Amino acid sequence: MARLKRVVLDRLIRYYRFLADVSDGRRADTVTSSRIGAALEVDPSQVRKDFGTVGLIGMSRVGYDACEVCRTIRTVVGFDRPYGGVLIGAGKLGGAILASAEVDRYGLRIVAAFDSDPFKVGRHIEGVTILPIRVLATYVMEHQIRLAILTIPPSAAQPLADLLVSCGVEAIWNFTPARLEVPRGVLVRNQRLTAGLGEIAYHLKGPRRAVRHRDYAAAIEGADAS
């Protein structure tokens, strides 16, 4: 199969995330392209085209087996082949990533964490040991780590990215606001925590939505009952 275009890959991952949530992974639940399209605001014909790209064919008037779609996308994208990664920066954000069960669904296994704070070194978060930053290069090379996750101050991001790339890292999941410069062939995925705030701010800039008294009363009554 030819390399997927980035826009197709992004949509397939969105389909996977949606279907993994609506299916328990055990029963043969079916889903239509119309349902997926409505939930994700994608034209149903585009959903069918994307599925056809990875060899999925739906059943007339029935749709697709949700579990089969998930399995196919997992295989095509590579979620079915677990890969190890390291996390640099074991603060609150790093700890939240380590504690997230979601990363397992996408094949990621965080095998070690690193921090420059001596008070954090030696601790364990969700079974992952926090190691001193001075052994990062040795660890990455010895364990042939290909992915690194950065949750560190932006001033330290580029020097660490340079070090990681020199040690063989091929992908960086960057949670810092720093714009990283890496050689061709190394992927940087920037995860901006503020990415959606522009849309939110613009939405809230408009007139305030009127709240009907009976809706407010019903909400208060429901909260009191719980």
Which residue segments constitute the domains of the chain, with CATH numbers given?
Answer: 6-77 (1.10.10.10), 83-190 (3.40.50.720)
The overall longest dimension of the chain from CA atoms, in Å, is 65
Over range 66-91, report the average pLDDT.
Answer: 89
| pLDDT tens by residue, 118-170 | 999 999 988 899 999 999 999 999 999 999 999 999 999 999 999 999 999 99
Residue 86 region by backbone torsions, left for phi larger than 0, else alpha for psi between -120 and 50, else beta: beta
The per-residue pLDDT for 60 is 81
pLDDT tops 50 at residue 117: yes
Q: Note the helical H segments in 154-212.
A: 154-166, 197-205
| pLDDT number for residue 80 | 80
pLDDT score, position 25: 46
Is the pLDDT score of 226 beyond 90?
Answer: no
Asked if pLDDT for residue 85 goes beyond 90, the answer is yes
CA dihedral 15, 44, 48, 45 (to 10 degrees): -140
- Rg over alpha carbons for the chain, rounded to the nearest Å, is 22
The percent of residues above 90 in pLDDT, for the chain, comes to: 56
Give per-residue pLDDT as tens, 12-63: 999 998 987 775 544 558 889 999 999 999 999 999 999 999 999 988 878 9
Angle between helices 6-22 and 33-40 (to 10 degrees): 100
Q: 3-state DSSP call for residue 115? A: strand
How far apart are alpha carbons 76 and 105 in whole angstroms? Answer: 14
Residues 125 and 113 sit within 8 Å (Cβ to Cβ): yes
Question: Alpha-carbon distance 154 to 180, whole Å?
Answer: 10
pLDDT for residue 217 is more than 80: no
d(CA 57, CA 35): 16
pLDDT at 223 over 80: no
Instruction: Return the percentage of the chain with pLDDT > 70, whole number.
Output: 85
pLDDT the model gives residue 169: 96
Question: What Cα–Cα distance (Å) separates residue 125 from each residue in 1, 20, 122, 154, 191?
Answer: 39, 26, 10, 23, 22
